[in-house]
Amino acid sequence: MKKKRSHIPQKNKVKAELQKEINSSCPFCDNTDVGHFQIHHVDEDPSNNSIDNLLLLCPTCHSKITKEDISKQTVINTKRNINNRASKIEFISVSVDSDNCGWIPYDNVPFSFEAKYLKSLFPIFNFSFINQSLKTVLLTRIALSVKKLPIGLAGPHIPLPSILRPIIKYKIKMPLDGETINTELNDEIEIPQGRAFKFQVELYDETMERFKPPFSKYAIYFEFGFNNDMSYKIPMILLNSNKYYEELTYNWIS
Ligand SMILES: [Zn+2]
C-alpha cells in the first residue's frame, strides 16, 4: 500500500533550513548542486513532515536510498549526527585570571585552583566555549552551587597558564554551602554559529569571614544556560584542593 504523501508546509523555508544543516552539500556524496536536491523522509513515512524527519540530499543518493544501496540505518545515523551538530555548544576551557585575582592552577590537575596571593581573594574564572551549532545562540543564565570540602593539605602550584582575553565579566555571588544561585544575565552574550566565545565570572561574597579563601576548600558547579532551553554543565571546579573528598557524599537515612 502506498503511504499518503502530504504537502510540506512552508516548503521553501524548510528547504533553506535543511540546506543549512548539510552545509549545502549532499550528506552522502560531494554533490553541491543544491538547486536539484530533494527532500527525503528519514522514517520513510511521507506524511511525517517534522524537520527532524527530513533530510536534503542529491537525486542520485535519494534513488540509492530507494534501491537500498544506502541503508535506512545509514540515513538515520546521518540525520542524527546532523541534529547533534545542530545543538552543540562545546566547552573548551576554564582558567583563572591570575593577573587580577590571587588564584593559580594546580600542576597537572584540571579544574583545580588554589589561593596563592593575597591581592584579591575572590576567584575570577575565564570560560571559553565554541558555538558549534547552526544558529546564533544567547548565553542567558549562569547557575552556581558550591560544596564546602574538608580542610586538608594544600598541593603544589605552577606558572600561569595562558590567560584568555575576556569580552565580558559577570559578578556572581557565592552561594551558601549546598545552595544554588541562578543568575539571569542582563548582558546576554550573542554568539554567532561557529564562533568561540569567552567571558569571565568573578565570584564574590559580602563577608570575607564566611568565604575565607586562603583556607576553605570548595567544589563548585557551574551550569550555563542558553536560549532555546539549552544548558551546559561544565566539570566540577575545585578551589584550594586538587582532589574531591568522597566522604562528602551525603547519605540519607530513612
Ligand atoms: Zn549525493
193 CA to middle of ligand 1, Å? 25
Range from 55-69, 76-90, 112-126, 132-146 that averages highest in pLDDT: 55-69
> Between 162 and 49, where is the model more confident?
49
- Assign 243 a pLDDT band (cuts: 50, 70, 90): confident
253 CA to middle of ligand 1, Å? 60
136 CA to middle of ligand 1, Å? 28
DSSP string, the chain: -PPPP-PPTTHHHHHHHHHHHTTTS-SSSS---GGG-EEEETTS-TT---GGGEEEE-HHHHHHHHTTSS-HHHHHHHHHHHHHHHT-EEEEEEEE-TTTSSEEEPTT-TTEEEE--SS--S-EEEEEEEE-SSS-EEEEEEEEEEEEEPP-------PPPPPPPPS-EEEEEPPPBT-EEEEEEEEEEEE-TT-EEEEEEEEE-S-HHHH-TTT-EEEEEEEEEESTT-EEEPPPEEES-SS--GGG------
25 CA to middle of ligand 1, Å? 8
Q: What is the CA radius of gyration of the chain?
A: 24
19 CA to middle of ligand 1, Å? 13
227 CA to middle of ligand 1, Å? 34
Please give the model's pTM, rounded to 2 decimal places: 0.59
Which of 58-62, 106-110, 218-222, 249-253 bottoms out in mean pLDDT, i.e. has the lowest? 249-253
169 CA to middle of ligand 1, Å? 46
What residue ranges define each of the domains in the chain, with the CATH number in brackets? 11-86 (no CATH), 89-246 (2.60.40.10)
Question: What pLDDT does residue 150 have?
Answer: 65
40 CA to middle of ligand 1, Å? 12
Task: Look at residue 158 and tell me whether its pLDDT is greater than 60.
Answer: no
Cα separation, 180 vs 147, in Å, equals 10
Half-sphere exposure of 101 (CA within 13 A, CB side): 23
User: pLDDT digit string (tens) for 84-101?
Assistant: 666 678 888 999 998 888
> Does residue 143 contact residue 180 with C-beta atoms inside 8 Å?
yes
User: pLDDT digit string (tens) for 211-238?
Assistant: 555 567 888 889 888 886 677 888 889 9
Type of residue numbered 179: E
> Does residue 126 contact residue 170 with C-beta atoms inside 8 Å?
no
